[in-house]
Structure 1
């Protein structure tokens, strides 16, 4: 394979992958069939789909959900073919993708695919379902597609997004881009384009239109604009596919060109992370996708899993705690930027709050990540006892792990210590379908959703590849 150097990574020449990297991705999107998906990929995908649907429900009652529906009302759109989950609205596919994308990511409770190569910092992550699933649902409903067709489109979108995120230079994330927003646009374009039956040439143009809409900055972490990223990337992908179908022109080399996505947004990329790697193996097989047990940034989860273990094993009480030290590698504080949070969105990116609330309540779910809890005097006092620092041992463990060291100093002089590389819900410690179903019901209850409808959704997702259409599933997720 012909290659050139770009920064510290290897970048591929256009002719090296059968006509170019963008062409290779477009061929994968057009040619992949359901029979190409291993059963483990289908099974893991159903867990993430169920997870995403639950989060769209809980996200619909967030303040951001209210504001999105206000925006849709201001647009005077009229009725369309695609469902806005958690509401009685049906709108054009692009706007359903936007609303549901915001909803899935609103609580930062959605799944993550985390980079695994040693120079790919774990912070170089993407949330695969938030951009891919809303686009697949919206276009699938509009096209009266079967459950199997929508499921395949979703998997194709996730695969494209994750491999692009894995390949781009770490600079992309480290200097401020949000990969869910940038790489997620390609996921949505791929999923929507597949359901629309676009040709390889049309898909090349759809990917290119998507690339020119690819945007989102991490400085907005801890605000409503972070889930806005996911919604807009899903909407942008749908728009890109539609314009490609119209005959809109665009380059056929958006990924690999010197002025294309990888170069402009990352300063280069690793060809070995994407060329020949789509579906080989599928991301849902290896390295896997993590499903969150807590509605906070994924980088908090190893520490939270270990903190819960220490609390249960040693019977730690909040009143007995003198001091807590949490040590990680130097990349994790780049994302966990809120050390003294004042609202629920900042709390999701505060290691200090995540440790404090576990010590006080012994749990950290949707009901704990609310402004009233964040600003409670006892919570603020416990936050002051938590030091979040860079630990040389975690640094030495490598950025492909989220190694977290915890030392709890008690008032009686004892110190209780622990360490974890990964959290519950990660591929190393996965959640079962039943555990994801329990989380789904938690989200549905948070949205005050009808229990019978919620139970129907779980049953239909379990049998998604047999559904003749999405009609019953989306009816159970809407207020009709």
Structure 2
């Protein structure tokens, strides 16, 4: 089979059989623990996202729908709604601050940003349907893991054109995650799961032109919601084509111009993506491509006692694909700042940190921030280009007023498998996000403990009743 060309492999059947036949006992212990970190991270982000501007607007929309109560928790929203709308709202919340986990690429032709934010579409769908069917914790974790696995392997397999010409993989590939999670919890058989996948493929959408706007997290929420809708309609008997992934007019061909069968066929759970190559959990609420540079800049600041007033010029060099996503060189608001290498470097120099409180409209509008941004040049670097697009190689040169030049390089950032966060570090991030949302520390600590023993829960109720309100 030729790479990036459609084949006659019954790929959709293979994916459906993997989903149907995998049991909770099949998950390796290390994969389970990695999943708990991303689940805890996702729940904290849904909380902080619930108090964002997008959270307010999503709740306004749900109010105007006037649909009444449902089975699934609106995290931080004080109510329950229909599963599809809980998946949408919580997916938007997780991705609202661009603070959620990110898949890593393997092949050198994979643009790092081509791949997907795995938890934002997968977890809300899994949680919503788990509440609908009163599933125990171990089944929630399995559905989540399966959604992440399928989503990430699809993202790894599709031809690079998919991302390069404008598709946002979290919105496109993420729709399959929601469908898989929903199908597993609804106990659909192979034929019905294939139909759910097919409906997901027809709903997959998201364009990168919307990076730096509220529509980027909309992609994640819509992917999760569309996956739930696909699984539920398939369960009703709704018909759909059986070969949506591999068909000549199917997802891989239409959205990417082809795919690499070797990147997905026979690879589901072998190894599990969360284990190898792993995912990155973000220490900063900005686009993942900024993180190696931010990690290295923070290290250089701390190691050399650098003060903003002494900085004359900063050069940040990356490969040519990274500016293709980090498109806002002079950001006008907090959303654009998340996709501005210049802002991320400037705020670290000025504040020594870059968290939710630094990514605000007020910070973007500060005169000292604007002045520091003018000192930062974000350029394409030959060394970074030669390292390959699967890396996020970032080279930094800081010129100081006393004539010194301080330089550094990073291929990955803090939170990546190369520099992983422990469960305790993720718990600290969770506490910060929960506090940002107004949750008391005791409740937040209870959630951290519940997620650490998620497989012991007989239902989601002990967890969701703590997540439904933030004050």
- 1:318 is aligned to 308
> Is 1:13 aligned to 2:7, yes or no?
yes
Q: Give 2:52's match in structure 1, choosing from 43, 62, 66.
A: 62
Q: Give 1:450's match in structure 2, choosing from 424, 440, 457.
A: 440
Whole-angstrom CA distance in 1 between matches of 2:358 and 2:4 = 44
Residues 250-291 of structure 1: per-residue CA shift (max 9 Å, x gap): 000000000000000000001110000000000011000110
- 1:77 is aligned to 67
User: In structure 2, the residue corresponding to 1:116 is in which secondary structure?
Assistant: coil
Q: How far off its partner does 1:90 sit?
A: 0.5
Residues 203-247 of structure 1: per-residue CA shift (max 9 Å, x gap): 000000000000000000000000000000000000000110111
Partners of 1:84 and 1:99 within 8 A in 2: yes
> Is 1:162 aligned to 2:156, yes or no?
no
Residues 143-202 of structure 1: per-residue CA shift (max 9 Å, x gap): 100000000000000000000000000000000000000000000000001000101000
> Is 1:275 aligned to 2:265, yes or no?
yes
Q: Give 1:148's match in structure 2, choosing from 113, 138, 149.
A: 138
Partners of 2:5 and 2:257 within 8 A in 1: no
Name the TM-score, length of structure 1 as normaliser.
Answer: 0.97
Whole-angstrom CA distance in 2 between matches of 1:184 and 1:119 = 21
- 1:404 is aligned to 394
User: In structure 2, the residue corresponding to 1:11 is in which secondary structure?
Assistant: coil
Whole-angstrom CA distance in 1 between matches of 2:4 and 2:374 = 45
Residues 417-440 of structure 1: per-residue CA shift (max 9 Å, x gap): 000000000010000000000000
Q: How does 1:49-448 map to 2 (within 5 A)?
A: 49-448=39-438
Q: How far off its partner does 1:370 sit?
A: 0.5
Residues 401-421 of structure 1: per-residue CA shift (max 9 Å, x gap): 000000000011111000000
Aligned residue pair count: 470
Q: How far off its partner does 1:109 sit?
A: 0.1
User: In structure 1, the residue corresponding to 2:467 is in which secondary structure?
Assistant: coil
Partners of 2:157 and 2:259 within 8 A in 1: yes
Residues 335-377 of structure 1: per-residue CA shift (max 9 Å, x gap): 0000000100000000000000000000000000010011100
Whole-angstrom CA distance in 1 between matches of 2:396 and 2:115 = 23
- 2:469 is aligned to 479
Residues 300-320 of structure 1: per-residue CA shift (max 9 Å, x gap): 000000000100110000000
Q: How far off its partner does 1:11 sit?
A: 3.2
Whole-angstrom CA distance in 2 between matches of 1:11 and 1:38 = 33
Whole-angstrom CA distance in 2 between matches of 1:146 and 1:374 = 44
Whole-angstrom CA distance in 1 between matches of 2:272 and 2:115 = 16
User: In structure 2, the residue corresponding to 1:86 is in which secondary structure?
Assistant: coil
Whole-angstrom CA distance in 1 between matches of 2:29 and 2:397 = 41
Q: How far off its partner does 1:114 sit?
A: 2.0
Whole-angstrom CA distance in 2 between matches of 1:375 and 1:276 = 51
Partners of 1:55 and 1:110 within 8 A in 2: yes
Partners of 1:302 and 1:403 within 8 A in 2: yes
User: In structure 2, the residue corresponding to 1:292 is in which secondary structure?
Assistant: coil
Structure 2 unaligned segments of length 5 or more: list them.
none
Superposed CA RMSD in Å reads: 0.8
Q: How far off its partner does 1:13 sit?
A: 2.4
Partners of 1:114 and 1:124 within 8 A in 2: no
Name the TM-score, length of structure 2 as normaliser.
Answer: 0.99
Q: How far off its partner does 1:88 sit?
A: 1.1
User: In structure 1, the residue corresponding to 2:184 is in which secondary structure?
Assistant: helix
- 1:22 is aligned to 12
Q: How far off its partner does 1:123 sit?
A: 1.8
Whole-angstrom CA distance in 2 between matches of 1:36 and 1:479 = 34
User: In structure 2, the residue corresponding to 1:408 is in which secondary structure?
Assistant: strand
Q: How does 1:462-473 map to 2 (within 5 A)?
A: 462-473=452-463
Partners of 2:102 and 2:118 within 8 A in 1: yes
Partners of 2:4 and 2:257 within 8 A in 1: no
Partners of 2:6 and 2:248 within 8 A in 1: no
Q: How far off its partner does 1:12 sit?
A: 4.9
User: In structure 2, the residue corresponding to 1:313 is in which secondary structure?
Assistant: helix
Whole-angstrom CA distance in 2 between matches of 1:33 and 1:199 = 14
